[in-house]
Amino acid sequence: MIRVDDLVKTFRVHRRPAGLGAALRSIFHRKYEIVRAVDGVSFRIERGERVGFLGPNGAGKTTTLKVLSGLLHPTSGAAEVDGFEPRRREPAFLKGITLVMGQKNQLLWDLPAAETYALNRALFDVPRDEYRETLAELSALLDLENLSTKPTRQLSLGERMKCELAAALLHRPKTLFLDEPTIGLDVSMQVAIREFIRSYNQRYEATVLLTSHYMQDVTALCPRIIVIDKGHLIYDGDLRALVRKVHPNKLVSFTMTGAIGPAELERLGDVVSSEGGRIVLRVPQDRLRDLVSHALANLPVVDLSVEDPPVEDIMRELFRPGSAPEAASRAEAEAS
């Protein structure tokens, strides 16, 4: 279980304008600013949960993950992971967690990934039988065949991330902190990594806290999301509830064999797009049933689909200046 109570992490940041004069002045007189990267965040995550951690750049996501993995000390507040205080980085704690950072890698650059696996086996004191068994499982799940014997520098980005995940999970951690694990990967590799994370979570009942800028990672993997912005927690709950509250409308797409007039369309709902025979309308939830019945009965419809607005739109709306806390708190209240 992960417990975070009123977590605050501040950094002192050196600021100076561009230019030689400013550079010279900064030698003698430095200006610092206190930045509250995480500001009073609290949440609980139960064993085996998959939670998406969302927020714009600089929101405090990575800082929180680093605090939870023991790399950063909280300025105030408390963090606990499986009964351990992360900041102490006790060996038993480190053997129970892993931190994967999509933009950094722990693999030995000029050696095959197999050497990093061997190194991690020794450092995490994994019994050889268990190591062989886990490696075989991970190889099957991640399709690592032929990858582990190539020097890391010769692997593609996606191949490297697969090997990175294997290296990070050889000690079978129960808590996974995944910071942008699919960054820069192509779509099929993103899907493969997502499927792997889900199956690892199910097989080992592992807790997963995931940050990603790819909303599909979050929608596909995480029933629950935590949203932070400027260090503040602005939403914690079900992703669908957030979508319903921030954007209470549905998107209804029709494909029709014949044309209908603009006036008729306006009466049905807000027109998002209308190209050829394909029309997309934004419709309030409570009018959805009537609209679909009406369309199927009275219009030349050959195909119809109903969707939530893209999560990207929800996030854009949520992080729009002035809108986030209100919208999210409405959603959170509704969800609870």
Partner 1 sequence: MAGQLRATLRATPTLLRVGVAETLAYRVEFVIWMLTTTLPLIMLGLWTSVAAQKPFANFGQREFVAYYVGALIVRNLTGSWVVWQLGDEIRRGMLSFRLLRPVHPFITYAATHISSVPMRGLVALPFAVILLFSTAGDLLITDPVLIGVLVVALLGAWLLTFFMLVMIGSVGLFVDKASAVFEVYLGIFAVLSGYLIPLALLPEWAQSIARWAPFRYMLAFPVELAIGFYHDRTDVLRDLGLQWLWVTAVIGAALAVWRAGIRRYEAFGS
The site for partner 1 (CB under 8 A) is made up of 11-12, 63, 66, 69-73, 87, 89, 91, 94-95, 97-99, 101, 104, 106, 108, 110-111, 115, 118-125, 151
Q: How far apart are CA 200 and CA 196, in angstroms?
A: 6
Strands 207-211 and 50-54: parallel
Min dist. Cβ of residue 306 to partner 1 (A):
45
Least spacing, CB of residue 41 vs partner 1, in Å: 16
Residue 39's CB: how many other CB atoms inside 10 A?
Answer: 19
Residue 251 CB, nearest approach to partner 1 (Å): 41
Residue with Cβ nearer partner 1 (120 or 212): 120
Q: Give the nearer residue to partner 1 in terms of CB position, either 111 or 280.
A: 111
Buried b (16+ CB within 10 A) or exposed e, 132-148: eebbebbeebbebeebb
Closer residue to partner 1, CB minimum distance, 154 or 199: 154
Tokens of 284: 């309030």
Please say which residue, 70 or 269, places its beta carbon nearer to partner 1: 70
Q: In what order do the strands lie in the sheet with 76-81?
A: 31-45, 2-15, 76-81
What one-character DSSP code corresponds to residue 86? Answer: G
Q: Which residue, 132 or 316, has its beta carbon nearer to partner 1?
A: 132
Least distance to partner 1 from the beta carbon of 287, Å?
A: 50
- Tell the smallest beta-carbon distance from residue 238 to partner 1 (Å): 31
Cα gap 147→5, rounded to integer Å = 42
Question: Whose Cβ is closer to partner 1: residue 88's or residue 203's?
Answer: 88
Q: Could you give the CA distance from residue 321 to residue 307 in angstroms, rounded to a whole number?
A: 26
Q: State in angstroms the smallest separation of the CB of 129 from partner 1.
A: 15
How many CB atoms sit inside 10 A of residue 100's CB? 23
37 near 65, Cβ under 8 Å? Answer: no
